[in-house]
Chains A and B, each alone.
Chain A
Amino acid sequence: MKYASQAVAKPYFVAALALFVAQILFGLVMGLQYVVGDFLFPHIPFNVARMVHTNALIVWLLMGFMGAAYYLVPEEAERELHSPRLALVTFWVFLVAAGLTVIGYLSVPYATLAKLTGNELLPTMGREFLEQPTITKIGIVLVALSLLYNLSLTYLHGRKTAITSVLLFGLWGLALMFLFAFVNPINVVRDKFYWWWVVHLWVEGVWELVLGAILAFVLVKITGVDREVIDKWLYVIVTLTLVSGLIGTGHHYYWIGLPEYWQWLGSLFSALEPLPFFAMVLFAFNMVNRRRRDHPNRAATLWALGTSVMAFLGAGVWGFLHTLAPVNYYTHGTQLTASHGHMAFYGAYVMVVLTILSYAWPQLHGRTAQGNRSQVLEMWGFWLMTVSMVFITLFLTAAGLLQVWLQRMGDTPLPFMAAQEKIAFFYWLREGTGVVFLIGLLTYLASFFIGVKGSPAYGGAARS
């Protein structure tokens, strides 16, 4: 850590991990409800568990992005953060807003929450991933504005690098697109059209810029490769992202009442969406192969390589599987979508937050790297979580294919619930694998407490 104000990243990282645990616990509840339908009913109905699972994910990834930004912008700009105090106040506002929202989800029926928070004044609730009460959404906008103000001033008054330029572009885009969360016409077709401007343009647009910037920063630090090389790669990756991903929004526009030409536009452009992820794999492996030093933080290197591979598989390959309109006609809204969603979010976003966390955490505590025992545990966590996510994805893919076959392709299509019962076997396998994921997460968390102060297995030797 070179600048004292980078320390504001710490609470963001801690809160992110706490919400990560909550996300996984509620994921296990939902997974069990898929096969034991009345589990915890009526106390935690499925829709409530799902809101906590998805909203906790979104908030903890945002917390992670914010922590990453507060950590890396001062270091790149070579000056202290404009206002560390504002960053801390913002943290508490964000955490309390998120906490109250989750308490609201769990303690009263959703309709009561809508009434209590005055949803009728500006109705924005009840849409997937945007379930937060309108007041929470306004809070998110304020938090984003505070973040952007703080980071932009730091950026403008300091050294401007490709990494911070792309990161800030991504964060500004993130805040801007979120404003469409307030667009909620009665017309369902238009509602869905603009809803995707938040959801798709986040995860297949501006978030990928944040991902690229964070990955590039960590690669600069752990490989010591010339910045000029890394900058070029980063610009190529983010160009591919937006050129494929913006019009690629069309792959959500096939069956929701929009003109048929979206089937062509969406298929063509989204077929290119794996390219930026493939470039990211080449980028990460090339930089590590060409490294000028062996950084003692081997765990961070593993996460950086891992996130590129898993993002390519989850977002790139599993996205491509069902992105072409003639295929999507059968797979739209099935477990196949869920399989892609799980590996893409884990590979691209969970893992990149854990990458920067792995690199920055020891630095924030005055060490180059965690001790050997801690790193071994962390790498066990990496493998347990990553391998179980691969299997969760494979089981959901099997469930999805069977669902499509039974419900949409056979000569005598089965009703939804009849098809669900026939694929319960794969839901059980998914739930069991989810337990292994939780064990991986606990192992990962243990690495923050065990053997952190020991010496790393090898020091930061320079390579010729």
Chain B
Amino acid sequence: MASFFSTSAARNMFYGGTLFSVLLFLGVTLHTESVLPQRDQRAQIATNPAIAAGKRIWEENNCIGCHTLLGEGAYFAPELGNVYKRRGPEFIKAWIQSQPTGAPGRRQMPQFHLSEQQLDDLVEFLRYVSEIDTAGWPPNIEG
């Protein structure tokens, strides 16, 4: 690089550029936080304790290790962000209870031994997620 561009100029560009980007990112974050209540269904969380309980069951059984939730997670098993709309509450519960299928050569889901209460909480959590405004994603009901 030419001599008019000194090392200290390059260093200042780095620290200046970084500071600018950090501030811009934090600024947009603040705005995002301020408009989120209109999109993220937080009123439901406050009034329905089953959602929090369901999220804990979702996490403590590592569901994300095979499935995606709003497109994030593992790509081994179906998207569950919209499974409530695709399958409905009773199917979800029956499906979880009947695992593993044991069909030879097929992908297997473990048996998690969830109680009726836990199944209901998990379904409530999945219903809540299915109602988040995701800008029209996924493209169709198959996820």
Contacts and interface: CB of A to CB of B under 8 A. Distances in A.
Interface stretch (A146-154, A302-310, A365-373, A406-414): A406-414
B62 A110 contact: yes
Contact of A110 (B32, B61, B108): B61
A333 B75 contact: yes
Interface of A: 30, 33-34, 36-38, 41-42, 45-48, 50-51, 109-111, 114-115, 119-120, 123, 125-128, 131, 162, 165-166, 186-190, 192-193, 228-229, 231-233, 235-236, 238-239, 242-243, 246-247, 249, 252, 254-260, 262-263, 265, 329-330, 332-335, 337-338, 407-409, 413-417, 419-420
B59 A259 contact: no
Nearest to B11: A235
B123 to A, nearest CB: 15
A36 B106 CA distance: 7
Contact of A409 (B40, B45, B103, B139): B139
B55 interface: yes
A408 B138 contact: yes
B52 to A, nearest CB: 5
A337 B75 contact: yes
A403 to B, nearest CB: 8
B36 A189 contact: yes
Cβ-closest 4 pairs across A and B: A47-B65, A126-B59, A333-B71, A37-B107
A246 B1 CA distance: 26
10 contacts: A51-B62, A110-B60, A188-B70, A229-B1, A255-B137, A256-B132, A258-B39, A265-B28, A413-B141, A414-B142
B72 A128 contact: yes
A247 B14 CA distance: 16
Contact of B65 (A34, A51, A259): A51
A194 to B, nearest CB: 9
Contacts, number: 222
Given A47-B65, A125-B59, A257 B21 contact: no
Contacts of A247: 21, 24-25, 28
Contacts of B1: 229, 232-233, 236
Contacts of A260: 135
Given A51-B62, A126-B63, A333-B72, A187 B10 contact: no
B36 A38 contact: no
B79 to A, nearest CB: 7
A46 B109 CA distance: 9
Q: Which of A162, A228, A259 is most buried by chain B, counting CB atoms within 10 A of its CB?
A: A259
